[in-house]
Amino acid sequence: MIHIIPEPKNMTIHQGAGSFPFSAETALVNSVLPQAAIADFQSFLRQNFHFELIQSEGTTRLLLTRTEEGDPEAYRIEVSEQEICISSAGEAGLFYALQTLRQILLTGGCNIPSLSIDDAPLYHYRGFMLDVGRYFYPVEDIKHFLDLMAVHKLNIFHWHLTEDQGWRVEIKKYPRLTEFGSKRSHTNFGFRPHSGFYTQEDIREVVAYAHSKYIKVIPEIDMPGHMQAAIACYPELSCFDRSLPVATHWGVKHDILCAGKESTYSFIFDVLDELIPLFPDGYFHLGGDEVVKMRWQLCPHCQALMKKTGLQDEEELQQFFMSRVSRYLKEKGVTSMMWNWDSVEATEWLDRDIVWQMCGMPPNTQAEITAGRRMVNSVSFPYYLDLPYGWFNLQATYENTPEIPHIDEASAKNLLGLEAPLWTEYVPSMKKADYCTYPRLGAIAEIAWTAPKNRSWAHFQQKLEDYYRLLSVYGVEHPATLKQAMPGALRAKGYSLWFNRRQLHWAGLHNLIDDAKVKKSVRKQHR
């Protein structure tokens, strides 16, 4: 039995037509796929089958060819007794075909039955997000994630680079961002100091590695909230120039970038100017989530800007802020993205070209997508990988329908695809990351690639044994077992209690006390 995740569009095994003996005598005939992709496939063969393909004539051959027309991510595999012919209109399609061939070899062995596969993705945006702001993951770990993304035929790596708890990317004009902002005094696991950041050379290395696997990289600098690490370095970025530490524990912080100071926008544009050349894939994520606006309500700079521009409230001020940054990126040929966490019914101040990443589905979702706003589905249930399986088990994830309800066919095209975020508030290690991510990512990858008519929970379950074997080949050591991913009532309750316990801290009380201090200070200034 041949098991492939994500499930191909069409696969036919030609009974009685013989098989292809994949061996060291098989010649690789290639003039269309870059050497890096070929070397990667040869490395896979050496590690798992102890041979590689020859470059001269052999008794059998693996042929890679390009077609003139078609979806560049689609591919066809035709296996006969003498030849495996792989064809696609694009390099990405050929690369995905080789990923499929890897799974065929691992699940069925080197005697491949005569078969035909015609395959193409359901969505062309198939993403995975890694939050490195809470816990830093070094470059080799990032490459590990990219390797696994390629196996799952995912093509977007969303890199969440900044948080209240850490600024993780070098900005030469603002060295304190990494000298000071990349470090915090302790963590919520082990209460140990934590630090780390990526140099600009590290960024170039990761982006090049991703591109070798036909993965685009979308950076995220979260703003105007989730910026305490930056404010700790440059207090003038906040409304009241407050001296703050880099945050240690989680929770929504109330000190955010000042939207009323022109110097704030100068800082943002400087940061973007350094990062845009490092990320050439045409998208930049601006965050925009969980923006507590209490400081803006008290800030004379923000209130003056609102009066000057005719903004009615602080919700419109955020739309103004996000749109101004978006327009700056647009002038550079870059499309902006943001979380739709704080979206409101009226969005006349919000740039229509900003792509919404859906962490929820507020009432205006249908109206926005119908009006032409493009979206990516990352609704927390079921796509947040860090949430416990007791809240949303593997079957519930697999059987979720990603489409936005009550929209017409034309508007449905504005749903670009899916993305699975791995937030790392409670994911301090690769061991925990493996447990949270797999096998859930396999289910999400199949949702993103495979049309609903070709998906079956029963069949997916049948494939899991081979899927776990595939994961082990790629160095995943601690995935959730099926029992853990499909917990009974008692186990699910235990998962929930553990997760909720981890969220119990003094952040809420601290925010109340801190808000009172700010209000008192403002009142003193206005006496």
We report the CATH number of the domain holding residue 62 as: 3.30.379.10
Same domain for 143 and 105, yes or no, is no
Same domain for 170 and 57, yes or no, is no
Strands 83-88 and 75-79: antiparallel
Same domain for 276 and 400, yes or no, is yes
Confidence of residue 132 (pLDDT cuts 50, 70, 90): very high
Lowest mean per-residue pLDDT among 412-416, 479-483, 507-511: 507-511
523 is a domain residue: no
Same domain for 54 and 140, yes or no, is no
pLDDT at site 527: 61
522 is a domain residue: no
pLDDT digits (tens, 9 = 90+) for 69-118: 999 999 999 999 999 999 999 999 999 999 999 999 999 999 999 999 99
Same domain for 295 and 376, yes or no, is yes
Q: 3-state SS string over 435-452?
A: HHHCCHHHHHHHHHHCCH
Same domain for 240 and 324, yes or no, is yes
Instruction: Please indicate whether residue 203 or residue 509 has the higher confidence score (pLDDT).
Output: 203
354 is a domain residue: yes
| Residues 318, 290 contacting (CB under 8 angstroms) | no
Confidence of residue 505 (pLDDT cuts 50, 70, 90): low
Q: Helices 457-473 & 91-108, crossing angle to 10 degrees?
A: 90
Same domain for 194 and 54, yes or no, is no
Mean pLDDT of 320-335: 98
Q: What is the CA radius of gyration of the chain?
A: 25
d(C-alpha 230, C-alpha 489), whole Å: 43
514 is a domain residue: no
Half-sphere exposure of 203 (CA within 13 A, CB side): 23
Exposure string (b/e) for 246-281, b if CB count within 10 Å is 16 or more?
A: bbbbbbebbbbbbbbbeebbebbeebbeebbebbeb
Residue 410 three-state SS: helix
The dihedrals phi and psi of 24, each to the nearest 5 degrees, come to: -65, -10
Say how many domains are in the chain.
2
Same domain for 55 and 181, yes or no, is no
Residue where a domain stops, chosen among 119, 151, 185: 119
We report the CATH number of the domain holding residue 206 as: 3.20.20.80
d(C-alpha 471, C-alpha 56), whole Å: 32
0.85 exceeded by pTM: yes
User: What is the torsional sign of CA 352, 356, 362, 365?
Assistant: positive
Half-sphere exposure of 166 (CA within 13 A, CB side): 27
Please identify which residue in the block is written with the tokens 């990667």: 40
Identity at 234, one-letter amino acid code: Y
d(C-alpha 205, C-alpha 167), whole Å: 19
278 is a domain residue: yes
- The residue length of the chain stands at 527
Domain span at 357: 125-462+470-508
Percentage of residues in the chain having pLDDT higher than 90:
87
Identity at 84, one-letter amino acid code: I
130 is a domain residue: yes
Percentage of residues in the chain having pLDDT higher than 70:
98
pLDDT digits (tens, 9 = 90+) for 150-191: 999 999 999 999 999 999 999 999 999 999 999 999 988 888
Which residues are CB-neighbours of 470 under 8 A, at least 6 positions away? Answer: 5, 103, 106, 107, 151
3 is a domain residue: no
525 is a domain residue: no
Same domain for 491 and 390, yes or no, is yes
Chain-centre distance for alpha carbon 276: 18
Same domain for 68 and 170, yes or no, is no
Name the average pLDDT for the chain: 95
Please identify which residue in the block is written with the tokens 């969220």: 503
pLDDT digits (tens, 9 = 90+) for 382-407: 999 999 999 999 999 999 989 999 99
| Residues 202, 229 contacting (CB under 8 angstroms) | no
Same domain for 192 and 177, yes or no, is yes
d(C-alpha 428, C-alpha 182), whole Å: 16
221 class by beta-carbon count within 10 Å (0-12 exposed, 13-18 middle, 19+ buried) = buried
Strands 83-88 and 60-66: parallel
User: What is the torsional sign of CA 250, 342, 317, 328?
Assistant: positive
Residue where a domain stops, chosen among 91, 119, 147: 119
Q: Tokens representing 414?
A: 């504005």
Same domain for 86 and 131, yes or no, is no
Residue where a domain stops, chosen among 96, 119, 142: 119
Confidence of residue 343 (pLDDT cuts 50, 70, 90): confident
pLDDT digits (tens, 9 = 90+) for 265-324: 999 999 999 999 999 999 999 999 999 999 999 999 999 999 999 999 999 999 999 999
